Structure 1
Amino acid sequence: MFEKGSTEAKTSYLFPFKVFYLVDSDVPPNQPPQVLFSISKRNFKKAVDRNLLRRRCREAYRKNKHLFFSSPEQRPPSYIAFILIAKTKVDYETIERGLQKLIGRLGKEL
């Protein structure tokens, strides 16, 4: 995805995430997207903090990934990279709200 990023991948911002996504026509439309969560070592020096935020992001995605398949004619992206851009620890509610809004936005853009 990052190799094709400059030409084919699209981006979106919504605190606390920056999102890169790519729609690949070779992937079947009913297959769930491959997802990546990235937490910067520059902003969170301790691995414990990065792992905590990564777990929060994964759980928020797990609980809300059904939003991609809410309408049958909607095709979800094939690959998605969620990059946490927050400089401090973010609570779970903020992460979940941001993720829900981003999934809704991605659904409208596609």
Structure 2
Amino acid sequence: MKTYSFTQEERLKSRKLIETLFREGKAFSVFPYRVVYLPATLPADKYPVQVGFSASSRHFPRAVDRNRVKRLGREAWRLQKQFLYDHLRGQSRQLAVFLIYTDKKIAPFPVLHQKISVILERLKKETGQNPGKI
């Protein structure tokens, strides 16, 4: 079933889980994003991934710009996430992911859409290689 929604259960909001993610998680960069991920047991069984987005107030002093960057990222994620969800469901795995926007300018949506697709491919590859370890 394809669903293009982005519900509350899919949003990474648990302070404890976010702290664990940054302390123990693995990271990689796909400019303009820095991606931190961690295999985790999530409270919502319906969704295999919880994701959070952030943008630096140092790069974007105006809240309206930070919110726009995060909104564009969430939209690109929402449209393409099913690819990763299907892969993780097939392996009965769950993942916590955090995307940090690192560029100093707001990139156009098509660029972000393409970068999120690269990120999803990379997450699929990295979660699929060591079944016993993750």
Does the alignment reach a TM-score above 0.5? yes
**Equivalent position to 1:9, from 25, 28, 47:** 25
- C-alpha contact (below 8 Å) 1:68/1:76 kept by paired residues: no
With over 3 angstroms needed to count, the CA separation of the structure-2 counterparts of 1:57 and 1:84, relative to structure 1, is: same
| Equivalent in the alignment of 2:39 | 23
C-alpha distance in structure 1 between counterparts of 2:90 and 2:39, whole Å = 15
Q: CA RMSD for the aligned pairs?
A: 2.1
C-alpha distance in structure 1 between counterparts of 2:29 and 2:83, whole Å = 18
**Equivalent position to 2:80, from 53, 64, 74:** 64
- C-alpha contact (below 8 Å) 1:39/1:83 kept by paired residues: yes
Structure 1 residues 22-64: Cα deviation after superposition (integer angstroms, max 9, x where no partner): 1114667762311110011000111111111111111001001
| Amino acid of the structure 1 residue aligned with 2:34 | K
Q: Does 1:85 align with 2:85?
A: no
- C-alpha contact (below 8 Å) 1:36/1:80 kept by paired residues: yes
Structure 1 residue 76: deviation in Å? 5.4
Please, what TM-score do these two structures have when normalized by structure 1? 0.85
C-alpha distance in structure 2 between counterparts of 1:31 and 1:89, whole Å = 29
Mind listing any 5+ residue stretches in structure 1 that lack a counterpart?
none
| Equivalent in the alignment of 1:98 | 115
**Matched ranges for 1:41-52 at <5 A:** 41-52=57-68
**Fraction of identical pairs, as percent:** 31
**Equivalent position to 1:39, from 47, 55, 76:** 55
Q: How many residues align?
A: 109
Please, what TM-score do these two structures have when normalized by structure 2? 0.71
